Amino acid sequence: MELLERSTKKSKRMAKSNEVSMGALCRALKKKDNFLLASHVNPEGDAIGSILALDSLLRRLGKKTLIACEDSFPERLCCLPSKRWNQVKDIAPGRKFDALVVADCPTLERVGSVQTLLGPKTEIFNIDHHVSNSRFGHYNYIQPSASAAGEVVYDIFKHFKMKLNREEATALYVTITTDTGSFKYSNTTVKSHQIASELIQTGIDIEKINDALYATSSLEKLQLYSLLLGKVKTSADGQVAWVGLTREDLKRTGATYEDTEGFIDFLKYIKEVQFAFFLSEMDGNHGGQIRVSFRSKGDNDVAQIAVHFGGGGHKKAAGCMISGTLEEATQKILDQIKLITKTKK
């Protein structure tokens, strides 16, 4: 009786958040025909690799697919094919989709203008690994133990008993190597290595992928790094480090926002630092806003700070947007860090 009660309670809870099993997810995918695929704005390796692999999988299942993103395909992911990538602004209005598949995206808002392509009948498949995922889909499959959303996509291939081809393996390798910082971060697991080993067995060119991903600095980027290194600040106890990028910094060096990706690791390399954050003064549609990336070491959780400001992410790597100036955003974040470190003590 008690068991029965418990299981009904559980199934009610499951129904509410629409969490599905891998089997149910794959059965539901099979029933749809016309897919829109998307991830978050400002997509990186995991977002893009996951979407490309899913696109290939669905087409092998005989489905119609269209990839849509607010942004263009980032240059630094040139080891992956961009030919199937579409920007929302280039998609003819009025196209109807049975389903939207979103990967590596903690909230629906993060898909940005892709939302304008959704009809009232479009069902949403939410495939992710963010602990903070809001379960926005009609079908939610969230695997927080996965190092990358690409690991979840790999499980979908396995469920369909589909052998990965080289292009799919390259896309999935990029998801894992970028989200684990080349298998260095604490989210790296035995499974990440096992999957990577299987991907390498398909004959993918690891050196070529890694050179494309990492040996790509421009002189402008190095000059921006030099400028930013000179602006690094730390708290009195040395445990918090941060740096703010202004639009002027980009103008002076000729570097781009994309060039700043990865800079935050320098802050983390300072021995005493437990919390690091990188602020970027935005332009265009996001003018007046500050984009913030967070990193932490040890047991410190930056996801809760990002969530406090309406963002999301993982315990050791998270992000958000804050309205206001660089100075205002910095103060708000320092206050928040003080608050959480105080409650911990």
Least Cβ distance, residue 3 to Mn ion (angstroms): 37
Structure tokens at 230: 């000179």
Q: Which is nearer to Mn ion, 149 or 245 (CB)?
A: 149
Rounded CA gap, 101 and 128, in Å?
Answer: 10
Q: What H or E segment, with its residue span, contains residue 145?
A: none
Least Cβ distance, residue 150 to Mn ion (angstroms): 8
Least Cβ distance, residue 37 to Mn ion (angstroms): 15
Structure tokens at 216: 């790509």
Rounded CA gap, 56 and 168, in Å?
Answer: 7
Rounded CA gap, 294 and 268, in Å?
Answer: 10
Q: Which is nearer to Mn ion, 179 or 281 (CB)?
A: 179
Q: Which is nearer to Mn ion, 45 or 244 (CB)?
A: 45
Least Cβ distance, residue 145 to Mn ion (angstroms): 13
Residue of closest CB approach to Mn ion: 46
Least Cβ distance, residue 49 to Mn ion (angstroms): 9
DSSP character at residue 218 = -
Q: Which is nearer to Mn ion, 55 or 281 (CB)?
A: 55
Q: Which is nearer to Mn ion, 135 or 332 (CB)?
A: 135
Q: Which is nearer to Mn ion, 133 or 274 (CB)?
A: 133
CA 79 to chain centre: 18
Least Cβ distance, residue 239 to Mn ion (angstroms): 26
Residues lying near Mn ion in the complex (CB under 5 A): 46, 104, 149, 179
Distance separating the N- and C-terminal Cα atoms of the chain: 43
* Residue 275, CA atoms < 13 Å, CB-side half-sphere: 26
Render the burial of 127-149: b for 16+ CB within 10 Å, e for the rest: bbbbbbbbebbebbbbbeebbbb
